[in-house]
Structure 1
Amino acid sequence: MSPARLIGLLAALLVAVAGLGYLASLTLLAPAEIDVSQQQAYVAAPVPAEAAAPVAPAGEPVGVPVVDAGWLATNAEASGVPEPALRAYATAQLRVDKSCSLGWTTLAGIGWVESQHGTIGDRVLQADGHSSSRILGPALDGSGSFAAIPATPESTMWHGNDRWDHAVGPMQFIPTTWDIWGSDGDGDGVSDPNDLDDAAYAAARYLCADGHDLTTGQGWADAIFSYNHAQTYVDAVHSAATAYAERTSR
């Protein structure tokens, strides 16, 4: 068996086991239709104890694992998650410290709630991890339940608003948060919140940074709450992630 094939099979096994581990670690909810019609409020991210991983120069290998193509096809069909999105979530799971016990289903739950895996508004998630048109959250102008986060010249480059920030991309990162956690998830030498490969890896690093025990219900809930400070958000992600774990554990 070739080394590349062996890596792919090992990656597939690890992803499958982690998905089952997630299912066992939470109080199960019956799969439900998930309503993403209501926008959630976004808050500034905590500053991590460690610096963001450096982005490798273009063309240099960074050791990104390759998930087995057969596993991707089978589980994309079973879960209903687009294959490019499932690849992003599974690869991100394989890249973070294994002590974090993060499963791809958790990232998929966030991806569904935030942007329906980059397909919200009839968008199409392309093979390179980018949606057919960019995804922007509402202006963070302090109205309603939204935080007031003024734009900077740097953040305006991501969303085009020179007054107020917007959450950006399929995992809805605020530019200031991306400045801290931005990651190169696919090894192309670019860190882009509009690329689900990059955004999923950044989200995985974010969720694992505070040392929450994701094998426990409370630890998992605390990690998701840190991503978005709303119990309704935690509940929605839980419902989606549990459904994905159930669909792919048969």
Structure 2
Amino acid sequence: MSPARIIASLAAGLLVVAGLGYVASQTVLAPPSYVVSDQQYVDAPAPAARAGREVAPGEPVGPQRVAPQWVSDTAARAGIPAPAVRAYANAQLAEPRGCDVGWTTLAGIGWVESQHGTIDGRTLGDDGHSSTPILGPALDGRRFAAIPATPETSAWHGDPRWDHAVGPLQFIPSTWETWGADGDGDGTADPNDLDDAAYAAVRYLCADGHDLTSGAGWAEAIFSYNHAQSYVDSVYAAAKAYADRTA
């Protein structure tokens, strides 16, 4: 494994990985060895309704609503579309008790996977959907692992034969079947909806008990999302940039 692949610069890493999370997820590499020591975590402010709410450890708090003014101010400072900031912050506020996923971590993933749903000139609507759906290439075994589609998974991407990664956070349908969630409370869990995808990402990152407030735990959790050191590096660089802009 070349050093260039292990230690990718932010610019190169984002260009290679952005929108291509499904590519790295098909590559089995050693777990990350470095420890994140710099700030990459910023809290979203909890709404008053959350105060004093008793939730058992490991159980999700459930859908929350971050203050619109905070979303607007933070989006301007971070350079992220406001619907994306809202999605990441609400997902963080709904995280299981005992798991700390900063909204900036979700923003780092969102940038690397699809530039917050705006990749290739798309726009992100207030409903959390990109102007056109974001689909990865067919997982047909030619360049990536072969994952045959089922009638259920085909409904997300339209390919009756092979699965594709779907949506702004590039969930493989089989992963979505396990971790998919209704993040905005509209009654539908849709990987094309960034509100839902962000909440699903929190559930996934928290599932293995990683301590995301520690450098090693954070790196391991991101590696579990996508098995490539370059991916961890790129998400960290983006998350830290957003933290620096908004802390």
Q: State TM-score, norm by structure 1.
A: 0.77
In the alignment, which residue of structure 2 is the partner of 1:109?
108
In the alignment, which residue of structure 1 is the partner of 2:160?
162
In the alignment, which residue of structure 2 is the partner of 1:236?
234
SS in structure 1 opposite 2:132? Answer: coil
In the alignment, which residue of structure 2 is the partner of 1:194?
192
How do 1:59-208 and structure 2 match up within 5 A?
A: 64-144=63-143, 146-208=144-206
Residue deviations 1:82-102 (CA, integer Å, cap 9, x gap) = 100000000000001241111
C-alpha distance in 2 between matches for 1:150 and 1:97: 32
Sort the Cα spacing of 1:246 and 1:98 in 2 relative to 1 into closer, same or farther, 3 A.
farther
Residues matched between the structures, number: 203
Instruction: Verify: 1:211 aligned to 2:194, yes or no.
Output: no
In the alignment, which residue of structure 2 is the partner of 1:16?
none
In structure 1, the gaps of 5 or more residues are 1-30, 45-52, 55-61
SS in structure 1 opposite 2:137? Answer: strand
C-alpha distance in 1 between matches for 2:100 and 2:201: 14
C-alpha distance in 1 between matches for 2:103 and 2:173: 24
What is the identity, as a one-letter code, of the residue corresponding to 1:122? G
In the alignment, which residue of structure 1 is the partner of 2:223?
225
8 Å contact 1:186–1:197 — kept in the other structure?
yes
8 Å contact 1:41–1:147 — kept in the other structure?
no
C-alpha distance in 2 between matches for 1:35 and 1:130: 22
8 Å contact 1:42–1:147 — kept in the other structure?
no
Sort the Cα spacing of 1:141 and 1:63 in 2 relative to 1 into closer, same or farther, 3 A.
closer
Residue deviations 1:182-218 (CA, integer Å, cap 9, x gap) = 1000000001000000000000010001000111111
C-alpha distance in 2 between matches for 1:86 and 1:36: 22
C-alpha distance in 1 between matches for 2:168 and 2:62: 24
In the alignment, which residue of structure 1 is the partner of 2:25?
42
Sort the Cα spacing of 1:80 and 1:68 in 2 relative to 1 into closer, same or farther, 3 A.
same
In structure 2, the gaps of 5 or more residues are 1-8, 28-58
Q: Could you tell me how far 1:37 is from its partner in structure 2?
A: 4.0
What is the identity, as a one-letter code, of the residue corresponding to 1:241? A
